[in-house]
Amino acid sequence: MDRKKQIGLRIRTMRKSRRMTQRDLARAIDQSQSSITMYETGRREPDFETLEALADVFNVPLSAFVIDDEPVYHSTVPLIVTTCEAEEIATTVDKLPYEQRQQALNVLRAMFRRYSKESDQEE
């Protein structure tokens, strides 16, 4: 996934997590709805000032939009997940119908609990 699409995915994920429409976001940062669409689809990359405005609206640091394809390592978790992979999973789960989304979340929670118990027993 290229940089513009990755930034667009982050914007879309943050917007939807706050239950905002594209129109709501456009108004909040004084831009057109079509600009938001272009950012989210990766057809256009927001400039620095727009990223600052988005960071303010979403109450996140500007670094939330920095694209880093390096894997994120957690010292106790052997799984390597890039930031984009995590966002892609979240976006995919978000698209599921309510019951399937709940099932997916339950499976993930069960996996995390299982891993957590296994880690505790190893220590």
| 89 and 53 together in one domain | no
Shared-domain flag, residues 49 and 96: no
| Distance between CA atoms of residues 88 and 51, nearest Å | 20
Which H helix or E strand runs over 72?
strand 72-74
Residues of the domain holding 54: 3-65
Residue 59 sits in the same domain as residue 98: no
How many domains does the chain fold into?
Answer: 2
The tokens for 46 are: 């927001």
Class of residue 100 by CB neighbours under 10 A (exposed 0-12, middle 13-18, buried 19+): exposed
Q: Same structural domain for residues 61 and 76?
A: no
Q: 33 and 78 share a domain? A: no
One domain for residues 52 and 82: no
Tens of pLDDT, residue by residue, the chain (123 residues): 688 888 999 999 999 988 999 999 999 999 999 999 999 999 999 998 999 999 999 988 888 887 665 444 444 444 445 566 677 777 788 888 888 888 888 887 887 777 666 555 555
